[in-house]
Structure 1
Amino acid sequence: MWKFISVLSILNVYVYGRTDVNTSVGIIYGVREEFTKFLGIPYGLIDIYDYFADAKPYPRFETAFHANKHPEKCAQFTPNGPEGTMQCLNLNIYQPNNLTSTDKLPVMVYLHGGNFAEGSGNINEITNLSPISGLSYVQTPKNLIDHNVILVTVNYRLGIFGFLCDLENNYANQGIKDQLLALKWIKNNIAAFGGDENNILLFGHDSGSISADIHLLYSDTDLFNKVIMQSGNFFSPIGKSKPVQGDLTFQSVQRMKDMIKYIINSPEQNVFTTNDMWKNLIVEHKNKHFKPCIDGKFIKNKPRNTNFTNKSILIGNTVNEQMLLRKGTDDLMDRNDTYKMAFSVLPPPALDSIEEFYVMGNSTAETILISNDLLYNYPAEKSAEFYVENKATVYRYLFSYPGGRYIVKYSRSSVLGLRSDETNYLFNLKTAPELTSPEDANMIVYLTTTWTNFAKYGNPSTITGRGAWPKYDMQTKYTRDIGSSLRNVKFLYSARTQFWGEFYEKYRDHSEGFHFY
């Protein structure tokens, strides 16, 4: 009897839908419903005098922390103006109900996308898609949780506060450093939630995928042992920005910091608040793109880690990544905008060679294909090659399934896989069950089983009756095409990726991307 009580005291205690966990930072109360969730657990503390400084670990809870509601998202600009909060470094933990003292479940840590500027890890709340489709839906983690894994999602600083590259004041890659702080918290505490601290998968899409790749290249790799990159990696030019010393952004930051210190330290009542300060800064820079940069300390020209013997990596993208990059609801992004993302100024012969190679008789199709290849397909291949050459176990996929669960498709001419399309099969669309056809239901089972099997075993091809999924190697370069049927493709887009390989070699000095090869 006493032994049973002592076990409950250090594990989950269920009381009327509430679950209590005793962690190294104190007792945390969660909520048990169709699955158990611990929402808004703070892992880091931002300096109230300097929103750009490195965050510190959140101190131990003096009393039990009630993790029963989603936290505010990190400060960001939205169609409704600036939203969120600065003190936003929180994480959410989702687990199956009624874990026992012997459970050591695989842990899947999800980094949300949003071009390093928007989004949140609060996946069980309404996601507005009004800028594109005017529609909204609710995503939940149930599809993954049903496979007996633990899911953790992370909020981290975004935009100018997360990715200002001000080397003079040592402000750079703060959002990535926030994620690293969260990974350390998870490593130290996830066992209390029934997770295996030695079996942690890091995954994400878009900028979350690029972030995962950065951690693989630069962070302490003992914090995780598997990675899934969905539509983004650090070889792509879309994941880099430049230092801002001496420009108007730098001056605005200094002015805001001075005002915040004055407001906090002034004994008088002020017309402005600290919230006014950061909101004004976001509005002022809403059209600027802040992304990770080479700071010479955390991120360097060459990766810190070059031996991935014990790492399993799944690298993939969708067949129509760039269908989402539009300036308006109807106009496709101009191909010159794509070139500017990847290169400084290309000489006329370089531009002519691209136009000649991609002659298709359809300007829109050419632009989409150029963007897909330059920003996604070629970087994905280079990333896979790099990790194979550095002893990782690598698998690669292409998501081309023409399903109906991606609401954005209804405002696009394409029905094939768009960017982040696979996330709508990984996460449950709670408020849109009508979007799930029998075929889509089968894809949900396949994709969630594949992703969670990879989290469990480091191998995506352990599903009976679905055929082998070969590893990616330099001899065959196998890619799993996940479409209406499943097939393994050798040398995916080989002629096009060869073209860009030769192009980069010839015009390397003009490149804005990263060169690890």
Structure 2
Amino acid sequence: MFFLKLFVFSSVLVCVFPLDPSVVSVKTSIGEVLGRRGDHFTTFLGLPYGDVDDNDPLGPATPHPDFETPFEAFSDLALCPQFVDGEATGTVHCLQLNVYTPNHVTAGDKLPVMVYIHGGAFVEGNSRLSTFSPKFLIRHDVIVVAIHYRLGAFGFICPRRKEYRNQGLKDQFLALKWVKRVIKDFGGDNGNVTLIGHSAGSISADLLLLNTEGLFNKVILQSGNAATPTFIEDNSQPTENIQSNVVNMMDREFKDLVSNMNISYILESTSNVTFRVCFDELVKKTPDSDLEGFKIMLGTTWEEGLFLYPNAVEDRNFTENFNYSIILKNTFPNIDDRGNEIVKNFYLQNGVVDFSSDYIFNYPSERSVRYYLRNNAVVYRYIFNYDGGRNYMKVMKNITIRGTTHADELGYLFDMSMFDTNISDADQLMIDRMTSLWTNFAKYGDPTPSPSPVLPVRWSPTTADQGSYLDLDAALSLRSGGPFERVASFWDLFYHHYAKFYKGIDLHDLHDFDMENGSVMISISYYCIFLLMFKFFM
């Protein structure tokens, strides 16, 4: 009898106190959460922040209910619907986030919080631990949150009914509200939240910056801005076929029809669609956010567009290999041939890589910086120019030419399984530098609060008078003058004549162009060259 009682008592102890010493329990305002303590940090994986109705998979999400029993946050395998290796996969029940904390943190701590929004052109990507391990960031005593949000047709269709627009962006907004409410229970400071985005995630973060208030107080924008015209829908017309007759239906008809479609059918029916953020009650065409004193860090890589043309390594100029007429017609479908010829001739020497870099990334970045400064934000600007062994996109696409392209910096912020565990000294130094800059910004709003051997350069904010930026290369250096002044000069003047064809958010800088106004002074020589080109093609 004694042994039976001992066995029962021991069994109860095992159930209440698991034998696995790595399991961590956190009492939160939404219920008890179980995570795992690892060698470098503690993980809470796959925490649900929102629910999607199976009968309305393209409709708005609702906050996930509180947990009635301990939630085992041990897995983040859920994937939002997308194509992976050509196969349609995923579930709409993907509105989850991962919380990563230092092992020593307690609920009474108030560590800075960094919330990451992944990229992927609004149609693919994830924030799994296996994809973006925060190992390098966590060691600086911050808490990292990585979120999933709906993609493609499930997150970014633009029907006439505004209730169905921008569900992916609204998912992100819902996740930030979760962070505001719950992160303090994990030892985070919900009054010191830095939003980080890359590519489409950066566009999203910028749009949230311009259209929401109170959920974060700093933002880091990596290779994407709200001013990027490629991913902003400028009218209430439907995105090309979901089919177009589907997205134009009234609410009830739309909901009933979509509820009868499986995920694979919806993905395959929209596989050729370029999905965009569209204007609605959350995203205004003319932003009105108060940016007084708001801290913004933003930057690009030096040759962003190289990943779009990885074979243009030997000959990037205008040749028979690149039909500029087709490229420009796709970019400016409503602009006359003369306008397209002006752009083509400007990029005859610069090439297709520079054209895509400037149009999609560099010029929107220039415009955004001006807007932030006009609205009294504090802006730190960088160019990532380091060509090392962990340049993410170059390694993934086997690009061997010298230079940095889109997403190359991610390998120095996150630990990724695709890279060798043996890190070179030069790459380790760049990891140390970038993670120090990023986490200093999250902690203090200043990436270089004091000099150190790792950060020997003082990174001062850019101004309208002197556009300084940090050159993130093997040797750090602070450079004066905007990195893309010549590019900005050309596109400013182009839109001075063709502003009515611009698609995207209105930053009040294209319609009433003033040669003497703005952070970038337009040289008379560029102006004359443009006018000569314009007159010639007229």
Superposition TM-score tier, normalisation by shorter sequence: 0.7 to 0.9
Alignment pair present for 1:187 and 2:180? yes
Matching residue of 1:355: 344
Report the equivalent of 2:118: 112
Which residue of 79, 86, 93 corresponds with 1:87?
93
Q: Give yes or no for the alignment of 1:228 onto 2:220.
A: yes
**Structure-1 residue corresponding to 2:464:** 474
* 1:315 maps to 2:298: yes
Larger Rg: 2
Query: Counterparts in 2 of 1:456-467, with a 5 A limit?
Result: 456-462=443-449, 463-465=451-453, 466-467=456-457
The residue type paired with residue 314 of structure 1 is M
CA separation of 1:98 and 1:48: change in aligned 2, threshold 3 A: same
List per-residue Cα deviations over 1:220-240 (Å, max 9, x = no partner).
x21000000000001011221
Q: Is residue 71–residue 88 contact of structure 1 (8 Å, CA) maintained in 2?
A: no
How many residues get paired?
472
Matched, 1:442 2:433: no
Deviates most, 431-440 or 31-40: 431-440
- 2:472 pairs with 1:486: no
CA contact (8 A) 1:385 1:474 kept: yes
Instruction: State the distance in 1 between where 2:27 and 2:269 align.
Output: 44
2:21 to 3, 9, 16: 16
CA RMSD, 1 decimal: 2.5
Name the CA distance, whole Å, in 2 between partners of 1:471 and 1:448.
18
Q: 1:378 aligns with which of 363, 369, 387?
A: 363
Deviation per residue, 1:63-107 (Å, 9 max, x gap): 111101114110112223111111110000011102135421100
Structure 1 gaps, min length 5: 1-12, 128-138, 262-273
How far apart are residue 372 of structure 1 and its match? 1.0
- Is the contact made by 1:259 and 1:277 (CA closer than 8 Å) also made in structure 2? no
Paired residue secondary structure (2:196) = strand
Post-superposition CA distance 1:193-215 (Å, at most 9, x none): 00001000001110000000010
> 2:83 — aligned with what?
77
Distance in 2 separating the partners of 1:395 and 1:14: 48
Q: Please give the secondary structure, in 1, of the residue aligned with 2:343.
A: helix
| Closer/same/farther in 2, CA of residues 260 and 252 from structure 1, 3 Å limit | closer
**For residues 210 and 420 of structure 1, what CA distance do their matches in structure 2 show?**
14
Residue 286, structure 1, aligned to residue 276, structure 2 = no
Q: Which residue of 1 aligns with 2:7?
A: none
Change over 3 Å in CA distance of 1:32–1:387 after alignment to 2 = same
The aligned amino acid for 1:21 is V
Q: CA deviation at 1:313?
A: 0.2
Matched position secondary structure for 1:251: helix
Q: 1:381 to 1:14 in 2, by over 3 A?
A: farther
Contact 2:81 2:91 in 1 (8 A): yes
Q: Output the TM-score relative to the length of structure 1.
A: 0.86
CA distance in 2, matches of 1:404, 1:511: 39
SS at match of 1:313: strand
Worse-superposed segment, 428-437 or 468-477: 428-437
Residues 164-201 of structure 1: CA distance to partner in whole angstroms, max 9, x if unpaired? 11123621011000000000000000000000010000
Aligned to 1:25: 30
- Which deviations, in whole Å up to 9, do the C-alpha atoms of 1:430-479 show, x marking residues without a partner? 45235732111100000000000010011112342521112111000111
Secondary structure at 1:433 match in 2? coil
Which whole-Å CA distance do the structure 2 matches of 1:84 and 1:69 have between them?
A: 15
The DSSP-based 3-state class of the residue aligned with 2:153 is helix
Are the equivalent residues in 2 in contact too, given 1:54–1:174 (CA < 8 A)? Answer: yes
Does 1:38 find its partner at 2:44? yes
The 1:392–1:424 alpha-carbon spacing in structure 2 relative to 1, beyond 3 Å, is same
Q: Is the 8 A contact 1:75 1:83 kept in 2?
A: yes
8 Å contact from structure 2 (residues 384, 409) kept in 1: yes
Decide which of 394, 408, 420 is 2:379's aligned counterpart: 394
1:493-504 counterparts in 2 under 5 A?
A: 493-504=484-495
Correspondence for 1:8: none
Quote the residue 1:239 is aligned against: 231
Partner residue in 2 for 1:422: 409
> What is the TM-score when the length of structure 2 is the normalising length?
0.83
Distance of 2:417 and 2:241 partners within structure 1: 46
Instruction: Evaluate the alpha carbon distance shift between residue 500 and residue 246 of structure 1 in structure 2; reply closer, same or farther with a 3 A threshold.
Output: closer
Give distance in 1, aligned partners of 2:241 and 2:426.
Answer: 53
Distance 1:340 1:428, change over 3 A: farther
Identity %: 37
- Aligned partners of 1:372 and 1:236: how far apart in 2? 11
Q: Does 1:345 align with 2:351?
A: no
* Counterparts in 2 of 1:288 and 1:247: CA distance versus 1, 3 Å: closer
* Partner Cα distance (1:425, 1:57) in 2: 34
Cα separation, 1, equivalents of 2:422 and 2:330 = 35
CA distance in 2 between counterparts of 1:333 and 1:152 reads: 42
Q: 1:336 to 1:186 in 2, by over 3 A?
A: farther
Residues 14, 320 of structure 1: alpha-carbon distance in 2 compared, 3 angstrom cutoff: farther
Unmatched 5+ stretches in structure 2:
1-17, 509-538
CA contact (8 A) 1:318 1:417 kept: yes
